[in-house]
Chain A
Amino acid sequence: MKDSCSSVSELLEKYFDQEVTDRERFLVEGHLQDCPTCRDALTSMEGLRTLIKVPVEEATQQEDFPWVWQKIEREIRLQEKVSWWQSLRSWIHLSPLLKKKTWIPAVAIIVVLLLITTQVILKKTPSYSDASVVEYIESETHNIMVYESEKAKMTVIWLFDEEDEEDQELSRS
């Protein structure tokens, strides 16, 4: 390597990458004419570039890309199908009223009211539909019917006379 190589070596890579100014190019090309070492260095860089580039170029040429696009399209379509939960969230996010979070106590009150109402509605009134007559006693003054319900663990004794059936008495045991 010549002494002048050290001054050019810093420029050699820039020259190879075509990033030098006109003045620098003139300097490097003047040096290269007399310096086989720097010419070799340049050739070596060219060889390295080829080694890196050619396999990549060849792999690219062998590839068929249309089906890649089809896969991309399918993937985008899949991602666009948002779930109902995401839709609800985005709706909540967009609604200015709901954005203020005032809806939270309102919803809480509604839920509590619904729970109470449901409890009241569902509270069962006695029903005797599943009761069965276990005894029937006739007398001159009154008739007696005894119902028993296994489900409600309840016994109904019904006193009545034939003329006035409204006269009845319920007793629970």
Chain B
Amino acid sequence: MDHEEIQLISRCQQGDQEALKEIFDKYHKRVYRIAYGVVRHREEALDIVQEVFVKLFRSIKNFKGRSHFYTYLYRMVMNTAIDHSRKMGKQFVSSLDEEGSFEPSEEIEKGPERILLQKELEEKVKWAMEKLPIEQKAALLFREVEGLSYQEMADAMGCSIGTVMSRLHYGRKRIQELLKDYVGPPGQSSGPSNPLKGEGVR
């Protein structure tokens, strides 16, 4: 943590709302990304952002500076997002069926409607992420979306680096199985039915 951030947090701990605003300006996108990654729903994610910063203002006195502030914040976001999902009493189920009988449409694959394919892919990824245990989902979001290091992830998730690696490994393995038509599992080369391999969504 740099000196400026320490001062900012200290001001916020004394109840300075301007300091909270500065923290919000600095971190709100990261908070939203994690929230959206968990719930995959715009309004829900925005509600979580709001809840996190209100909660932060109330509880920032408990932050002792032993870890990076953002890992403290990430943990708060993840817990809030999980609580939020439970409170809403629903899974953010995609339009795909629970058995995972999703098959890529050949017409779309061959046709020019790249946007449609992307939309389908997003739905498929959303569905696949929902299948993961929350720890693996959190690990994937922290690593793939936020680019946290193993150590930062361990701090944010309150576990060891070994556990982080294990969650990442099994999370990737599971999601590659679920998305095998799009992302071939390690050790297998993908055929032409894998349109995104190596080139991403865009």
Asked if A and B are interacting partners, one says yes
Chain A residues proximal to chain B, CB less than 8 Å: 1, 5, 9, 12-14, 17, 19, 36-38, 40-41, 43-57, 59-60, 63, 65, 68-69, 71-73, 75-76, 79
Query: Which of B28, B121, B188, B201 meets A65, CB within 8 Å?
Result: B28
- Judge whether B198 is part of the interface by a CB distance below 8 angstroms: yes
Closest Cβ of chain B to A32, distance in Å, is: 13
How far is A64 from B143 in the complex, measured between Cα atoms in Å? 25
Range, interface on chain B: 35 or more
B169 at the interface (CB under 8 A from A): yes
CB <8 Å contact, B189 and A69? no
Establish whether residues B50 and A47, one from each chain, have CB atoms under 8 Å apart when the complex forms. Answer: no
Contact between B172 and A53, CB atoms less than 8 A apart: no
Please determine whether A68 and B196 come into contact, CB atoms closer than 8 angstroms.
no
| Cα–Cα, bound, A79→B144 (Å) | 36
Q: Which residue of the partner chain, among A9, A40, A45, contacts B190 with CB atoms under 8 Å?
A: A40
The answer to whether B50 and A59 have CB atoms under 8 Å apart is no
Contact status of A48 and B143, CB under 8 A, knowing A17-B150, A60-B29, A69-B24: no
Cβ-defined contact, A49 with B144, below 8 A: yes
| CB < 8 Å neighbour of A1 from B21, B42, B187 | B187
B202 contacts partner chain A, Cβ-Cβ < 8 Å:
yes
A48 contacts B28, C-beta separation under 8 Å:
no
Task: Enumerate chain A residues within 8 angstroms of B129, measured Cβ to Cβ.
Answer: 52
B interface residues (Cβ-Cβ under 8 A, vs A): 17, 20-21, 24, 28-29, 32-33, 36-37, 40, 42, 45-46, 49-50, 53-54, 57-58, 121-122, 125-126, 129, 140-141, 143-145, 149-150, 165, 168-169, 172, 175-176, 179, 182-190, 196-202
A71–B46 alpha-carbon span in the complex (Å): 10
Q: Across the two chains, which residue of chain B brings its CB closest to A54?
A: B201
Given known A-B contacts A13-B168, A51-B179, A37 and B24 have beta carbons under 8 A apart = no
Partner of A13, one of B36, B126, B169: B169
Inter-chain contact B145/A52, CB cutoff 8 Å: yes
Is A48 a contact of B53 with CB atoms below 8 Å?
no
Cβ-defined contact, A45 with B172, below 8 A:
yes
A19 in contact with B149 given A47-B197, A54-B202 (CB within 8 Å): yes
- A12 — nearest CB in chain B belongs to which residue? B186
- Give A19's nearest chain B residue, CB to CB: B150
19 pairs, CB–CB < 8 Å, chain A vs chain B: A13-B172, A40-B184, A44-B176, A44-B186, A46-B200, A47-B200, A48-B179, A51-B121, A51-B196, A55-B201, A57-B145, A59-B32, A59-B45, A60-B29, A60-B33, A69-B24, A72-B53, A72-B54, A73-B17
Enumerate chain A residues within 8 angstroms of B144, measured Cβ to Cβ: 48-49, 52-53
How far apart are the CA atoms of A45 and B150 in the complex, in Å? 17
Flag if B54 contacts A75 (CB, 8 Å): yes
A27-B201 Cα distance, complex, nearest whole Å: 31
**Measured CA separation A138–B53 after assembly (Å):** 93
Q: Are A60 and B32 in contact (CB under 8 A)?
A: yes
Q: A44-B183, A60-B33 are in contact. List 10 more A-B contacts (CB 8 A).
A: A5-B187, A13-B169, A44-B186, A50-B200, A53-B145, A59-B36, A63-B42, A68-B49, A72-B53, A75-B54
